[in-house]
Amino acid sequence: MAGRVIVVTSGKGGVGKTTTVANLGTGLALCHKKVVMIDADIGLRNLDVVMGLENRIVYDLVDVAEKTCRSVAKALIKDKRLGNLFLLPAAQTRNKDAVTPQQMVAIVDELKEEFDYVLIDCPAGIERGFDNAVAAATEAIVVTTPEVSAVRDADRIIGLLQEKELYEPVLILNRLRPDMVKKGDMMDVDDINDILAIKLLGIVPDDEEIIISTNKGEPAVLNNHSKAGEAFRNIVRRLEGEEVPFMSLGGEPGLFGRFLKLMSGK
């Protein structure tokens, strides 16, 4: 059976696409799935750094597309912690036009026969890089943060995904700060649901551990003390079809808050 091909996208840059791919990839591999992550951000590659695999790159996505290396398998880098997790890195010295959507489809078609999951890290923007990343995907995860601009871009991306026949993208809300939501200084889950109206796959709280783990090249899912890591582990289980309740972030309105909300008719 062919594996699932999931693109992780957002429109806006810096909302956590690469972190999400690194964590979901690692998390799925921890569940004994065979996973390959493709960095489609040619020219601005990051996924290798976040995974701590930068110094092992020999061939990249462009080499595979141009058939400079003999097979896709030759360009895959095995993760240093998990034997069933692989990375197909982007080229750093080329740009997005170095690969065509057709080439991406061909590469992914080959990979999905071998792997349970093909995760594609989409670059920011809506141009060629987006077209490439989305071309071969059959599912999409949209990542956003609770900011008006990020939500606006996510909305745009959902529209574009639907034009590419990815009709049911799911949402990861990243970097939520329950304390700020509580004070009314940050959009809450309902505000975002109201606008985007797609299925919520998970909420990841803002967590300093993420910055530390990103710098160290060790995804947060591996850290049992990280709140964000826990959120990503839950998302992995939901991807695998398990019903997992959304974890309590301590930011829900208390009884009094809920009463106020009721009174204001919201």
Partner 1 sequence: MLLPVNNPLNAEELVFKGLKQGLTLFIPEKESFGHWLDVLDQRLDQAKSFFQGGAILVELGERRLTPGEVAGLKKILTKYRIRIKDFNPLSKKKLTPPPQERLPHAAGALLVKGTVRSGQRLENEGDIIVKGDLNPGGEIVATGDIIVLGALRGVAHAGAGGNTQAEIIAFTLAPVQLRIAHIFSRPPEGRRGRQGPEVAYIKGEKIVVERL
User: Does residue 153 bind partner 1 (CB under 8 A)?
Assistant: yes
Q: Which two tokens stand for residue 105?
A: 């489809």
**Candidate ranges 56-64, 113-121, 152-160, 220-228; the one touching partner 1 (CB under 8 A):** 152-160
Please report which residue ranges of 118-188 form alpha helices under DSSP H: 128-135, 148-163, 178-183
Residues 178-217 that bind partner 1 (CB under 8 A): 194-195, 197
Q: Which two tokens stand for residue 185?
A: 């200084």
Shortest distance, position 241 Cβ to partner 1, whole Å: 26
Cβ distance to partner 1 smaller for residue 148 or 212: 148
**Candidate ranges 43-51, 101-109, 129-137, 160-168; the one touching partner 1 (CB under 8 A):** 160-168
Dihedrals phi, psi of 240, to nearest 5 degrees: -80, 5
User: Does residue 58 bind partner 1 (CB under 8 A)?
Assistant: no
Q: What is the dihedral of CA 254, 258, 259, 262, to 10 degrees?
A: 180
User: Does residue 128 bind partner 1 (CB under 8 A)?
Assistant: no
User: Does residue 265 bind partner 1 (CB under 8 A)?
Assistant: yes
Q: In what order do the strands lie in the sheet with 170-176?
A: 77-78, 85-88, 35-39, 117-121, 4-9, 139-144, 170-176, 199-205
What amino acid is encoded at 22 in this protein?
A: A
User: Does residue 48 bind partner 1 (CB under 8 A)?
Assistant: no
Residues lying near partner 1 in the complex (CB under 8 A) are found at 126, 152-153, 155-156, 158-160, 162-163, 165, 194-195, 197, 265
